Amino acid sequence: MIGFYELVGPVIRLFDPETAHGWAIEALRRGWVPRPAPVEDPRLQVELWGNTFASPVGLAAGFDKNAVVPDAMLRQGFSFVEVGGVTPRPQPGNPRPRLFRLSEDRAVITRFGFNNNGMEAMARQLAGRTAKAAGWVGINFGKNKETENAVDDYVTGINHLARYADFIVVNVSSPNTPGLRALQGKQPLAQLMRAVRQAVDGQNLKKVPPLLLKVAPDLTADDKRDIAAVVREEAVDGLIATNTTIERPATLKSRHRTESGGLSGQPLFAASTAVLADFYRLTDGAIPLIGVGGIGSGQQAYAKIRAGASLVQLYSALVYQGPGIAHRINRELLALLEADGFNNITQAIGADHRS
């Protein structure tokens, strides 16, 4: 039987990708996208940060920048959704075109520049959630382009939105905001994460949301050692590895391969997984990791988990496979667990480091 996205996907991809993305958000908001049957199996459950994740498969930031459809995506089979990146003030981002499909490479290049409606608009969206779906919603925070003191923007955003977040992500790894990746240096990162940790802990909340840091794949060995040290010293609760890359593999075929911006999708898989594995080793497996970058199948999600990820995220694969991908990956993960003789997905975390 032909699925919904197999029918509409080719038509959607005839249009400008950013326009098509807007249509997808609207269709999800209106409930027009069919929901797959849930994959409910205790073998996929992950206990982390005091939460029970129904499966390890989540949606990465960037898809739902303004928190319009977090519950709709949870109902598509994702166990957690990361909205944003959000900045304190609204900003239009970079000029269009700024989103490119690399269809031959199963990849995407973006240079949005943190376009979003700002923290006030996001607060209204999250406060207005009525028919909440099962799962967890995190918020990805960035800085406004013109802000000189980045710490102020992250603290301001967290103070305004932390009450709505099941987890908080500090994004210092987007390649499309000038100077942002410089915050991954040891001294500025330590200063930032110390201030953010204080802001998170200072919220008057019954449960303090875990604080995560999202890093780039384009890091030197020294960069990774410094980041791992800061994460431990500043009591960061987890790492997301990785954001998009500014590298362009020689194997790219698409006519859009030379566009500037961050590359995501299949060409990023190997590099992002290697960085993930490095952080697992550098933190002795003591810091929970979320693996993201190039996941388009259960096998690739499983590879991230075996490399050290407690959870995984995807986004670019939605362009080519549609929102039902979470359902398919969860089914494939169950088969892979059985093949390896694991009783629960958590037994596979970091398995490659033990073999």
Residues recognised as catalytic: 174
Q: Are 52 and 314 in contact (CB under 8 A)?
A: no
The 3-class SS string of the chain reads CCCHHHHHHHHHCCCCHHHHHHHHHHHHHCCCCCCCCCCCCHHHCEEECCEEECCCEEECCCCCCCCCCHHHHHCCCCCEEEEEEECCCCECCCCCCCEEEEHHHCEEEECCCCCECHHHHHHHHHHCCCCCCCCEEEEEECCCCCCCCHHHHHHHHHHHHHHHCCEEEEECCCCCCCCHHHHHCHHHHHHHHHHHHHHHHCCCCCCCCCEEEEECCCCCHHHHHHHHHHHHHCCCCEEEECCCECCCCCCCCCCCCCCCCEEEEHHHHHHHHHHHHHHHHHCCCCCCEEEECCCCCHHHHHHHHHHCCCEEEECCHHHHHCCCHHHHHHHHHHHHHHHHCCCCHHHHCCHHHCC
Instruction: Provide the Cα torsion 283, 288, 289, 290; round to 10°.
Output: -170
Residue 30's identity, in one-letter code, is R
